[in-house]
Amino acid sequence: MTAQVELRGVEKWFGEAQVIKGVDLAVQPGEFVVFVGPSGCGKSTLLRMIAGLEETSRGQILVEGRDATAEPPSKRGLAMVFQSYALYPHLTVRENVGFPLKAAGLPKEEIAARVDEAARALRLDEYLDRKPKDLSGGQRQRVAIGRSIVRKPTAFLFDEPLSNLDAALRVEMRYEIAKLHQQLGTAMIYVTHDQIEAMTLADRIVVLEFGRIAQVGTPRELYTAPANLFVAQFIGSPKMNVFDAAAVPAIAVPGGTEKIGLRPEHLRIETEGQGPIAGTVDVLEYLGADTFVIVDGGKAGRITARVAGDVDVAPGTPVSLSFDRGDLRAFGADGIAIR
């Protein structure tokens, strides 16, 4: 099967600074791939290179098997949705959505049919005659997506499209984008710094670190079997507890283990002396269904346990932490996971 979008040894240099360091990736037809990583990791630069908005210094970018490395954005058959909506304020929703088709010289009848089809998919039917100023932020973002849909692109590229929305609208738009992907079956490449967006939307997540791919996998693979310490602590909220193996000699670990990792939800609060990790309750963070119990683990440092919301424990209480052996993750001196 020919990949929808493929990167082969892609690099990007700004003068003497290399920001993308040899990326290889194949996005399959209909796949939803999310680029995630901290600020400055190169995720937006990589997306802009795929779109043709940034020149590729080395390597190849293929679209449906065709070398598109030197092609301008208009020739790549890709549609990009930006952080800002970039709508024309003097045009109606219908005119904004149909604008790229009008610019391409398509017949009015075809433009109208495509706009109506996109409006139905995005539930914009009743807003087609309104101006952008009369819409909410979420509705404006749907219009911007609709403008991309009408072009019937080979793949959609999303550059942090929800970052300007409030928390409630972000949740709503995540749902809209997931449903849209199901309806269209078109490959989507999505950039975000929000790991919740990544985990809930992606078929596969690409975790970037300093311009390199740290790991590629399904959300479950990255969560349960992180390849290294960076991925282990970047994916998951609250993040994985990591401490020196030597700090808790009661825990048996594989040879070569320097660091131990345990997810907060895998830890159980026990009475003093009943578990391998000893500590004192420091702070409780009550969230309703869950409570985060932050324990001072001495040499192991601060450890967070995610337990039932009605946990009966008070700050200052000596406790032990226990876990199932299969939930422990071990990492060597180089930060790579020991399987």
Taken in order of first residue, the domains within the chain and their CATH numbers are 5-232 (3.40.50.300), 257-338 (2.40.50.140)
What pLDDT was estimated at residue 190? 96
Q: What is the pLDDT confidence band of residue 37, given thresholds at 50, 70 and 90?
A: very high
What pLDDT was estimated at residue 290? 95
Residue 101 scores a pLDDT above 80:
yes
CA 32 to chain centre: 11
Residue 206 scores a pLDDT above 80:
yes
What pLDDT was estimated at residue 116? 92
* Mean pLDDT along residues 165-170: 83
What pLDDT was estimated at residue 2? 85
* pLDDT single digits (tens) 267-277: 999 999 999 99
Q: What is the pLDDT confidence band of residue 334, given thresholds at 50, 70 and 90?
A: very high
Q: What is the pLDDT confidence band of residue 85, given thresholds at 50, 70 and 90?
A: confident
Query: For the stretch 51-83, what's the b/e string if a residue is b when 16 or more beta carbons lie within 10 angstroms of its beta carbon?
Result: bbebebeebebbbbeeebbeeeeeebbbbbbeb
Residue 163 scores a pLDDT above 90:
no
Q: What is the pLDDT confidence band of residue 141, given thresholds at 50, 70 and 90?
A: confident
Strand ordering across the sheet containing 277-286: 268-271, 318-322, 277-286, 290-296, 302-308
Task: Work out whether strand 329-331 and strand 259-262 pair parallel, antiparallel, or are unpaired.
Answer: antiparallel
Cα separation, 294 vs 87, in Å, equals 46
Residue 162 scores a pLDDT above 90:
no
Residue 95 scores a pLDDT above 80:
yes
Tokens of 279: 């500590």
**What percent of the chain stands above pLDDT 90?**
78
pTM score of the predicted model: 0.91
What pLDDT was estimated at residue 274? 94
* Cα separation values, 40 from 54, 160, 211, Å: 16, 14, 8
Name the CA radius of gyration of the chain, rounded. 24
Three-state SS at 258: coil
* pLDDT single digits (tens) 1-16: 788 999 999 999 999 9
